[in-house]
Chain A
Amino acid sequence: MTENAGGERQPKIRIDHLYFGYGDSQSSDYVIEDFSLDVFDRDFVCIVGPSGCGKSTLLNVIAGLLPATKGRVLIDGVEPAGPGPDRAMVFQDDAVFPWYTVEQNIEYGPRATGVPPARRREVVSKALSMVGLMDDRDKFPRQLSGGMRKRVDIARAMIMQPRVLLMDEPFAALDVMTKERLQEEFVQIWTPMRMTVVFVTHDLEEALYLSQRVVVMSRNPGRVECVVDVPLEQPRSLMVKTTSVFQDMRRDLAQVLRTMHGGLEAR
């Protein structure tokens, strides 16, 4: 863990009075306004909020895919110049390259960043067995189910060992059964690695199950409404969802969202 001169723990990500608007910097129509947040090393932070609050936009700004209008995003104290594998991302939509096999997809990042072949083979086969796709490595994505494609996507991002793993509603398009299984699997994969994760979702149960902190975002403009710590012990099994502590927190969070925006999204 890096410490700066003041002895204070340096955050992995520091979002510092961030503004983002699609117009020029003069206009006051911001999607994200005055958003500040510190995410520390090995944190698992979920960002929830009503749809259209700019949570996906925020993730794209952190990834460097969209430029900040005002303010800064610092990764380990440095402002990155653009997108890069230190902030690998998993998307909601199907982002697995359909023209590559499972193995070639997972190999994409190491190849793009010039990892030597021997080392590449090693990390790829580790990643393949991590997500249980060893036997399917020569298949094309169209031959896989939605859940399997999502596993490919996750493995492809995690193989980069990013400083921060960005996840943009990765499980939102999946059916409930697959979603729960993938959540559980993801916890199992993440626990020994504990990489820093920023996870955007509109599913409160998902947020509470996965993360240590839940950031509630407001809409119009998007800013931090409140931050909730999740005191449940990690790693969590799916059973945790049925405990009263969990259900109470879920209810409270839903209440926060309801009072904010009429509860359109809160479930």
Chain B
Amino acid sequence: MTGPTSKKTNRMSGNGDRSRLLGRKLLVPILLLVAWIVIARLELFRTRVIPPPEAMWKAFLGLYELLPAAILTTLTMTLSGFAIGTVFGTLMGLTMAYSRAVREFLGTVFDFLRPVPVFALIPLFILWFGIGRAPQIALIAMGTSMVLGVTTLEAIRNVPSIYVRAALTLGGNRQHIYRTVILPYIVPHLVGAIRVAAAASWGLDVAAEFMGSQQGLGYLIIMQQVYLRTAGIILLVAVYSTLAVITDTIIAQVEARVTRWTERRAGIGVVASIVGSA
């Protein structure tokens, strides 16, 4: 999930360098594509296992009338679950750090819920909320909020005490310190967690739609499987991954803006080369 941001470090000089870099980046994808075509031509596998590239176009023609509505459904569900979960999880982490009472009352429940595999809850959610959007959104929200809740708590615990001590001797009270020290400090950490949670929420959405949905991309995938249309599945997976990459890119853009104050490693020199940012 680091693809979109790492591109901006190509501070090469001439045009020749740039095209060589582009060539290196595209080499493996092109090889894979060629391998696919060759394998399909040689008919090494049945087309149900590995469909030929031209089958993709046919699959697209077959699906394209359904796609806009399915994308819209999936997008609204995933994004609303993700948004609810992010807000709820962050608030939960903040209140648990802020108030000892909340921590003591809810901490145990939180600790027991955290390791529960969210997918295991799907049947339960269906029993509780029925089939439809509500349980699906709830599932995505729950998975997202756990990630954010844990990260928020952990990030707050790691706030260097010197900042809190400085704020205290400058007259800050608890609430003011939360707003002016804790929150700004944890934001860069949260953005990382939000990216992980966004990626996870697409997976949660697929799982949720597999369990008795009547619309959306996940539902279409199941339908393609029923009719043994492998190309259709691959096409829909590609749509999913495109959506995920787009959301990740947007979050990465926001990240760059809100973490302006942090010491970003310059994309040059030995250190940059060792940590993989150059």
**B169→A63 contact, CB < 8 A:** yes
Kindly identify, within residues 58 to 96 of chain A, every residue whose CB is under 8 Å from any CB belonging to chain B: 60, 63-65, 82-85, 87-89, 91, 93-95
Complex contacts, B176 vs chain A, CB 8 Å: 112
**Minimal Cβ-Cβ distance residue in B for A159:** B170
Kindly identify, within residues 142 to 193 of chain B, every residue whose CB is under 8 Å from any CB belonging to chain A: 162-163, 165-173, 176, 180-181, 184-185, 187
Given A112-B176, A140-B260, A140-B261: A99 touches B168 (CB 8 Å cut-off): no
Residues of A within 8 A of B (CB-CB), count: 32
User: Is the CB of B111 closer than 8 A to any CB of chain A?
Assistant: no
Q: Bound state CA distance, A53 and B168, in angstroms?
A: 24
Given A99-B184, A142-B261, A157-B170: A65 touches B165 (CB 8 Å cut-off): yes
Complex contacts, A94 vs chain B, CB 8 Å: 162
**A93→B162 contact, CB < 8 A:** yes
**Minimal Cβ-Cβ distance residue in A for B171:** A85
Option from A84, A95, A109, A111 in Cβ contact (under 8 Å) with B163: A95
Given A99-B185, A112-B176, A140-B261: A156 touches B170 (CB 8 Å cut-off): yes
From residue B225, how far is it (CB to closest CB) to chain A in Å?
Answer: 49
Option from B168, B184, B185, B263 in Cβ contact (under 8 Å) with A142: B263
**B170→A112 contact, CB < 8 A:** yes
Residues of B within 8 A of A (CB-CB), count: 21
Q: Number of A-B pairs whose CB atoms are under 8 Å? A: 75
**B171→A113 contact, CB < 8 A:** yes
**B170→A108 contact, CB < 8 A:** yes
**A166→B169 contact, CB < 8 A:** yes
- A 44-65 to B, binary, CB cutoff 8 A, 1 in contact else 0: 0000000000000000100111
**B166→A112 contact, CB < 8 A:** no
Q: Bound state CA distance, A204 and B169, in angstroms?
A: 27
* A–B Cβ pairs within 8 angstroms, 17 of them: A65-B165, A65-B169, A83-B168, A83-B169, A88-B170, A89-B169, A97-B181, A97-B184, A98-B261, A108-B172, A112-B170, A112-B173, A113-B171, A140-B261, A141-B261, A160-B171, A166-B169
Give me the 8 closest cross-chain CB pairs, A-B, nearest first: A85-B171, A109-B170, A99-B184, A95-B166, A83-B168, A113-B171, A89-B169, A112-B172
